[in-house]
Amino acid sequence: MTIDPAKLAPEGVRTLAPYIPGKPLEELEREYGIRDSIKLASNENPFGPGQRALEAIARAAREIGLYPDGSGYKLKQALAKKHGCNTHCITLGNGSNDVLVLIAEAFLSPQSEAVYSQYTFAVYPIAVQATGATARIAPANPAGHAMPLGHDLAAMAKLVNERTRLVFVANPNNPTGTWVSGDALRSFIAGVPEQTLVVVDEAYIEYVSTSDFPDASRWLAEFSNLIVTRTFSKVYGLAGLRVGYALSHPSVADMINRVRQPFNVNTIALAAALAALDDAEHLKRSVETNRAGMAQLQAGFDALGVRHLPSAGNFVMIDCGRPAPAVYEAMLRQGVIVRPVGNYGLPNHLRITIGTREQNERMLAALKKALLP
């Protein structure tokens, strides 16, 4: 009998449920014969990259016959200045997704455990399971909580034991949009044993305007077991180039960099990210548009009688009050792509990215029609 080669993979890999990305515009238009569709599914910046990044991309394209700077020297120097840390504290990745996987590879094994919340970024369980480590999933806040379905830090703390090597906290959280305050998060990190690393995923922090929201990168000198991850995919508009980074104690960064693949960030991504850091005008425009869009969507959902969760990111999660796939399908047929989150265990919910005013208006009209009896 011929053996199935898939059985040669470790059990953790064989039983993985692959990450499901948002539907691409091209696929929607090909399947449904639709034109002029919009995508509000993957929390991308509706403006894309700023002018400075685009100019840097054009210049860097002339150098793609050579390998990129494997150390990312210039980008690391700029990030060290931005965060007030040493370059030895920085790990660059092919998006923050890559960095999260590298952290798991560096610190998890079949003998260890990791803790994360019930409704949080899908990459955490994938990264943990692939290493053979045991996942401990804390129940989320109840629906009636001020931060419904968000992180219950007390419940997470109860799951930490002598085998726990990683704890993942997404702040703001994806897909719910909820967040934890600075005092609560700081107290949580302070209470975690030194042998447990706390990963604070701040992919959406640039969009936050809430006064009690923390910048965990400012605590790196205080907590040697803290790792903070950031990305250029969201507010900087570089999702297609895939570049992110982690900030941590130098010895932690050293371990992560040992499993990091050579040249994992390409030449164009390095150049674009460096230029994007200095583009204050693009950042300001993106943040202000998102803030106005958040108010627009929340008012629109209220007018439709659609329950929505509080959000500090560039997206809002709604409760359709019914199975969401039918609503999602009805919106697809109108040329509007949003994100069902049944894979997160939320079959009645949709996550909707904030777009431009015109995109938001079109989405709300499509949602209204999709919710008709």
| Chain segment 160-210, per-residue pLDDT in tens | 999 999 999 999 999 999 999 999 999 999 999 999 999 999 999 999 999
Give me the percent of the chain exceeding a pLDDT of 70. 100
CATH code reported for the domain at 19-48+281-370: 3.90.1150.10
pLDDT score at 250: 97
Helices 51-60, 267-277: inter-axial angle, 10-degree rounding: 150
The CATH 3.40.640.10 portion of the chain extends over: 51-277
Q: What are phi and psi of 135, to 5 degrees?
A: -90, 135
Residue 5: pLDDT band with limits 50, 70, 90: confident
Is the pLDDT at 102 greater than 70? The verdict is: yes
More confident residue, 372 or 158: 158
The CATH 3.90.1150.10 portion of the chain extends over: 19-48+281-370
- 3-state secondary structure (DSSP) of residue 294: helix
- 3-state secondary structure (DSSP) of residue 265: coil
Question: How far is Cα 127 from Cα 259, in angstroms, rounded to an integer?
Answer: 14
The shares of helix, strand and coil residues in the chain, as percent rounded to the nearest 5, are: 45, 15, 40
Structure tokens at 273: 């990210």
Residue 111: pLDDT band with limits 50, 70, 90: very high
Q: Do 323 and 347 contact (CB within 8 A), yes or no? A: yes
Question: How far is Cα 76 from Cα 371, in angstroms, rounded to an integer?
Answer: 48
Place of tokens 């919340």: 117
Alpha-carbon torsion 263, 265, 270, 272, what sign? positive
Among residues 218, 146, 227, the alpha carbon closest in space to that of 192 is found at 227
Among residues 352, 361, 346, the alpha carbon closest in space to that of 314 is found at 352
CATH code reported for the domain at 51-277: 3.40.640.10
What number of CA atoms fall less than 13 Å from residue 5's CA on the CB side? Answer: 0
Q: What is the mean pLDDT of the chain?
A: 95
Question: How far is Cα 192 from Cα 158, in angstroms, rounded to an integer?
Answer: 10
Which residues lie closer than 8 Å to 7 by C-beta, 6 or more apart? 14
Radius of gyration of the chain (CA): 21
Count CB atoms within 10 A of the CB of residue 328: 21
Which residues lie closer than 8 Å to 30 by C-beta, 6 or more apart? none
pTM, entire model: 0.94
Q: Do 123 and 233 contact (CB within 8 A), yes or no? A: no
Reported as type and span, the H/E element at residue 301 is helix 280-304
Count CB atoms within 10 A of the CB of residue 182: 18
Residue 361: pLDDT band with limits 50, 70, 90: very high
Q: Do 202 and 171 contact (CB within 8 A), yes or no? A: yes
pLDDT score at 27: 84
pLDDT score at 320: 97
Residue 76: pLDDT band with limits 50, 70, 90: very high
Going across the sheet that includes 113-117, the strands are 90-93, 244-248, 226-231, 197-201, 164-170, 113-117, 134-138
Residue 16: pLDDT band with limits 50, 70, 90: confident
Please state the rounded mean pLDDT for residues 6-34.
79
The CA angle 308-312-317, to the nearest 5 degrees, is: 30
Is the pLDDT at 1 greater than 70? The verdict is: no
Is the pLDDT at 236 greater than 70? The verdict is: yes
